[in-house]
Amino acid sequence: MTKFYEARKRDGAARLGRLLIGNATVETPLLLNVEAFHSGTAPVLPAKAVARAKNTSKLLIYDAWELPAEWKTARGVVVLPKTHPLASDVRNLKADLYVVGYASRLLTSSRRLVDEIIRLKESIPPDAALYVPAVATPANVAFLIYIGVDVVDDAVAVIKGYEDVYLTDYGELRLFELKNFPCCCEICTSLNPAELRKLNKKERAELLTKHNSLSLKAEVEKVRERIRSEMLREYVESRVRTSPFLTAALRILDEKEEYLERRTPVARRSPLLANTMESLRRVEVKRFAARVVERYTPPRRKVLLLLPCSARKPYSQSQSHRKFISAIFEFGGHIHEVIITSPLGVVPRELEAAYPAAFYDVPVTGYWDAEERFWVGSCVEAYLRKNLIERGLYEHVVVHLSGGALEIFKGVAEKLGLEAFYTCGDGEEETAKRALERLRNCISELCAEKKPDKDAKVNMIKAMADYQFGNGVGNLLLG
Amino acid sequence: MPNKNNLMSLPTNFWAERDFFDGRAARSFVVVLRTTGCRWRRCTMCGYWQESGTPQPPEALVKQFEFAIHKLKGRCAESPEILKIYTSGSFFDDDELPSAVRLEILKKAAELGVQKVVVESRPEFITPERVGECVERFAGLEVAIGLETSDDFVREKFINKGFSFKDFLRAAKVVKSEEACLRTYLLMKPPFLTEHAALEDVVRSARAVTFSDVLSLNLCNVQRNTFLEKLWWERHYRPPWLWSAVEALKRIKEFYEGVLISDPVGAGSQRGAHNCGRCDKKVAAAIRRFSVTQDLNVFAEMTCDCVEQWLKILELEEFVFGVITDHD
């Protein structure tokens, strides 16, 4: 347990937190200003720089071998890499703020960046803050915070200023190639690139550094705001687009399921926007698919009806689903409805109001790319194997799908050797009159007698309880 | 002549250069003999042990020397005033060069008519007997010792040099009392020191060894297959700025009256001491010029835009809990 840091809100592995320094609290994610280090005005300072003064109004960062025994105010410790002769086991170091020593190594590869930060995060207490010095730029800071870094500084922004490099949230630009400043900060509105170039090196560097730091500050503010509105993942997916290094890092991070699963809230109050290839690999998406197979038990019904998704959520509120429901309503007690969709895969009707099923959006063009087909196909296959083949819960499969979703189902059916009734004609939309007619006829033939679905509400609550808390919880609660 | 088909029987390297001697830039020959190499070979920045060979009979070692001198004479009309005999190890280690070989080589150096012979050794091999007999054979002997830094902590933890400042002082005393000259090597920027700490360290070290006849500031460079190279690949290390070397030379020259030299090996490359890339050649040339003239005026009005960057790094690097490496 650390004493002076508290994480108060999270989105993915990112946190909004509070660090208690002296009598003041500072909010994380925190951007430190290196010039303030130098002048001694930063809230956080290396213990070496504060000459023996018992300065309790600062958070002091110690070398591991200098860490005092008593721990009365917030403190930090430097974690040295294994290659350093003075490195010690981080598990033995007790502090509120852990500082990554020689952090420049993190930029040698995307995998290293992800692996090392995760390794550190796993070896420090979950309620301690992590500071990665001299790495943050406006382009990468969203990702750094997303992976779990709480404190950064503007050292790179300053050094880049002295290298005549102009930083933006989409990457680096050379001052000598700029015609206009694509920024509205106080520096960029006070002169143009040509005027800046005319200044001597020192003046030029100071102004450029100021812009770079402001640009980083603006980005950190945006990220904080995105955490507050629980939309950081969507923001990070757009931010990493500007660099292959960062895009690779996000993809590698998404492989670390255990790390993210433990840190990603089960529900957010914002929609899940699946706009990119990486969206398919989001932990919320994988978690939903896994829980549908592992935790959810469908009711025993004569007919499994596969339906397309709708833009409006929950699906049953949409025009298209109202049409499907009215077509089969009288036979509801014989039917189990399951929706095929990207990126969630398979959504049983009872779970349509769960997060993220009721809260996602995805660009619909009618085109399903190979990644989507593969992923959704694997979800459909897993569902059918377990509930149709192994458990034998259904007698018939009725497929009211067209386009890409239909092709995906057909691929799975062929693989599993399944027979099914197809109720959409070639090139016919699911809501077409003739398709709905065909659906009604098919269902009434298969079910023969009418039987409304009386258990719908109870089943929904049980399914939600199982989904949220684990297999069998629904029955324990509702009998 | 040694058998040319057997590379191991050839000297590791040999070349001609110039050194400050007798108030001017004098001609010197450098011969690196291939012995069994350094016995310690554990220093973090040193890859010279890779140049060592298999044990050789005494005659072969003398032949290596003769071969190099023969070739150098052919290349260079001017006769040398200084001769440097290195081994990628220690001249006074009997396992590398037996006493008889040392004396034979010095005899040949005397025949060559040089004024000064420079050899290198770790302190543990420096005894009054070994140095004494050599001085007897050749009076203008200069013994170089790689102290690297006067800071025992840095030397032990970061360089892994395997001897203390006290060990160095003992050996230095032997060299002096046997009436040989003492040359001390200082390492500019050992691993894990910031640019600023490295600058302070080298100046402080110079202050601790002002009794040296020659002080050589060795700018740390990244040699292959060394621990330092691993650090460098991992962005844990950046070789020193040439500006730091210039600053160190200026500051040391203020209090040090002996000969102060620096050979910026690999200057301008990513593995060697470097600045921004635009001024490296100019600054390295000035450092070489200073070494043969001892005139600080060679640095007058020498500047570049990157001086500001270097100053900023001196100031900020103390606060990044690591190093500021060059960014891509």
Q: What is the CATH number of the domain that holds B44?
A: 3.20.20.70
Which residues from B are below 8 Å from A155, CB to CB? 316, 319-320, 324
Q: Do A155 and B324 touch (CB under 8 A)?
A: yes
Best probe of the A interface among B195, B320, B326, B328, by most A CBs < 10 A, is: B320
Give pLDDT tens digits along chain A (479 positions).
Answer: 678 999 999 999 999 999 999 889 999 999 999 999 888 888 998 888 776 555 568 899 999 999 998 888 899 999 999 999 999 999 999 999 999 999 999 999 999 999 999 999 999 999 999 999 999 999 999 999 999 999 999 999 999 999 999 999 999 999 999 999 999 999 999 999 999 999 999 999 999 999 999 999 999 999 999 999 999 999 999 999 999 999 999 999 999 999 999 999 888 889 999 999 999 999 999 999 999 999 999 999 999 999 999 999 999 999 999 999 999 999 999 999 999 999 999 999 999 999 999 999 999 998 999 999 999 999 999 999 999 999 999 999 999 999 999 999 999 999 999 999 999 998 899 999 999 999 999 999 999 899 999 989 999 999 999 999 999 999 999 87
> A229 exposed, middle or buried (CB, 10 Å; 0-12, 13-18, 19+)?
middle
Q: Which two tokens stand for residue A123?
A: 């070896």
Q: How many domains does chain B have?
A: 1
Residue-level pLDDT at A52: 54
Residue-level pLDDT at B52: 86
Q: Is B318 in CB contact (< 8 Å) with chain A?
A: yes
Best probe of the B interface among A88, A104, A152, A175, by most B CBs < 10 A, is: A104
pLDDT tens digits, one per residue of B66-85: 999 999 999 998 999 999 99
**How far is the C-alpha of B14 from the C-alpha of B33, rounded, in Å?**
8
What ipTM was estimated for this complex?
A: 0.91
Residue-level pLDDT at A1: 64
Candidate from B160, B318, B322 with C-beta closest to A103: B322
Assess if residue B241 is contained within a domain.
yes
At B53, is the pLDDT very low, low, confident or very high (cuts 50, 70, 90)? confident
Which residues from A are below 8 Å from B325, CB to CB? 104
**What beta strand segments (E) does A237-319 contain?**
272-273, 303-308
* Cα separation values, B287 from B33, B210, B260, B261, Å: 27, 20, 11, 8
Assess if residue B328 is contained within a domain.
no
Best probe of the A interface among B200, B319, B324, by most A CBs < 10 A, is: B319
Residue-level pLDDT at B326: 82
Q: Name the minimum distance, in Å, from the CA of B316 to any CA of chain A.
A: 7
Q: Is B70 in CB contact (< 8 Å) with chain A?
A: no
Strand order from edge to edge, sheet including B24-32: B13-21, B24-32, B82-86, B116-120, B141-148, B181-188, B214-219, B259-261
Mean pLDDT on B113-125: 97
DSSP B52: -
What is the signed CA dihedral for A80, A84, A86, A87, rounded to 10 degrees? Answer: 40
Assess if residue B325 is contained within a domain.
no
Complete domains list, chain A, with CATH: 5-230 (3.20.20.105), 275-478 (3.40.50.10630)
Range of the domain at B54: 4-319
Residue-level pLDDT at A447: 93
Assess if residue B35 is contained within a domain.
yes
Phi/psi zone of residue B180: left (φ > 0), alpha (ψ -120 to 50 degrees), beta?
A: beta
pLDDT tens digits, one per residue of B152-195: 999 999 999 999 999 999 999 999 999 999 999 999 999 999 99
At B306, is the pLDDT very low, low, confident or very high (cuts 50, 70, 90)? very high
Assess if residue B324 is contained within a domain.
no
Residue-level pLDDT at A48: 81
At B328, is the pLDDT very low, low, confident or very high (cuts 50, 70, 90)? low
**How far is the C-alpha of B189 from the C-alpha of B228, rounded, in Å?**
11
Candidate from A48, A104, A156 with C-beta closest to B322: A104
Q: Which two tokens stand for residue B217?
A: 């500031």
Assess if residue B326 is contained within a domain.
no
Residue-level pLDDT at B35: 94
Mean pLDDT on B20-48: 94
Mean pLDDT on B51-66: 91
Which residues from B are below 8 Å from A210, CB to CB? none
Residue-level pLDDT at A103: 95
> B213 exposed, middle or buried (CB, 10 Å; 0-12, 13-18, 19+)?
middle
